[in-house]
A = this chain, B = another copy of it.
């Protein structure tokens, strides 16, 4: 118990991409000793040159001296990284991650390391990689911590304390609730929006297709924005959050069918009521 409540002094970061780099930047500024591990020597050297780490290297053994480790690798590497990491750690070290889908990761990582806490800082930039890292990325952004029954509450408290120092807004949810919520508000919009673009692309009359391109305005621009984003990111969302995303997609198709039925049946008053509900509810999501 004494070790769990000890204030962390040394924080490890595995994976020095955008999120790892931003964490290193803020945590160094907050006065922590930050130890970074990256796969490539060039990334290690860049992190040292940027002054955002106390020490850095390619060997996970560097994590032996840390109180908390943030695993900031791509989604697919999170659980394998925890697996490789555990042999180097003190039992008191807390391990957390920053993956955008939580269900499978939290279950598997907690089995590998009981002092694991799943988390998802919901911040990002269009650019990826360490060179895009900047201070203050997490300020005023959601930081979702996703404990399960087995998760140690002292470990949750320490991650929450660090996230608070980053200026983030802390939320706590089960991994399943997190994954359903982000399916609805983050992953579903990508699929809905990309299908809008495909509808326009599939227009068979070339004159209509070009006219649509000429007349498209701010409404189309906004509705199609996330659907025209990074395809690897969209694929990863579907791959890692498949059950929750499919559930959201089927629910969406049901809502769309209801709306199509109203237009086919010329139920204009019911359509107006339906659009009014959307108008009234939207501010709850802003």
User: CB < 8 Å: which of B178, B190, B211, B257 contacts A181?
Assistant: B211
Assembled-state Cα–Cα distance A224/B217 (Å): 15
Q: Is the CB of B212 within 8 A of A181?
A: yes
Assembled-state Cα–Cα distance A135/B259 (Å): 37
> Majority SS of interface residues in chain A?
helix
Assembled-state Cα–Cα distance A260/B216 (Å): 26
Q: Which residues of B contact A248 (CB under 8 A)?
A: 199
Q: Is the CB of B281 within 8 A of A201?
A: yes
Q: Is the CB of B276 within 8 A of A231?
A: yes
A178 to chain B, nearest CB (A): 7
- A203 an interface residue at 8 Å Cβ cutoff? yes
Copies of this protein in the assembly total 2
User: CB < 8 Å: which of B177, B200, B252 contacts A195?
Assistant: B252
Q: Is the CB of B208 within 8 A of A255?
A: no
How many residues from A make CB contacts under 8 Å with B? 91
- A219 an interface residue at 8 Å Cβ cutoff? yes
- A268 an interface residue at 8 Å Cβ cutoff? yes
Listed in ascending order, the chain A residues whose CB lies under 8 Å from chain B are 122, 142, 144, 171, 173, 177-178, 180-182, 184-186, 188-203, 205, 207-208, 211-217, 219-232, 234-235, 238-239, 242, 245-246, 248-253, 255-260, 263-264, 266, 268, 271-279, 281-286
